Amino acid sequence: QVQLVESGGGSVQAGGSLRLSCTASGYTYNVYCIAWFRQAPGKEREGVAFRAPDGSTTYTDSVRSRFILSKDNNARNTLLLQMNSLKPEETAMYYCARGRARFGYCTILQTEYSDWGQGTQVTVSD
C-alpha cells in the first residue's frame, strides 16, 4: 500500500525559509513522478515542484530559484522541498503527490496524481 507522509510545515516570517519532507512507503521514487502541490484558502490547488523518475526537477515560475527539490541522502525514499524567501501569499497547505510520468515527464495536472499525502501547513506572516 502506497503511503506519502509530509512533514516540516510551520510558521515563518516573510523572507524566511522552511524545509518540507515527503516520505514514501510501498514503492520507490525512481519510477514515478513526485510533486508538491499547495492550496491556499479559497484558491485552487497548484503544482509547485516536480521530480521525474530520472531525478530531473521542474518548478512553477513563481518559485523557481527560491524552492529546491532534492532527495534526502540520509533517509530512504524521502524528498525534501527547501523553500527560501517565502512570501505571505505562499501561505497554504502543501501536499506531496505521486503520479505516473508520461514519456519521462511530469504533468502539472493534479488529476494525473493518484496518491496524496495529508498535507502540511505553511504559514508565512508579514
The pLDDT of residue 29 is: 60
Query: Per-residue pLDDT for 99 more than 90?
Result: yes
Q: Is 83 exposed, middle or buried (0-12, 13-18, 19+ CB in 10 A)?
A: buried
- Stretch (H or E) spanning 18: strand 18-25
pLDDT digits (tens, 9 = 90+) for 19-43: 999 998 887 666 799 999 999 999 9
Read off the C-alpha cell for 80: 525534501
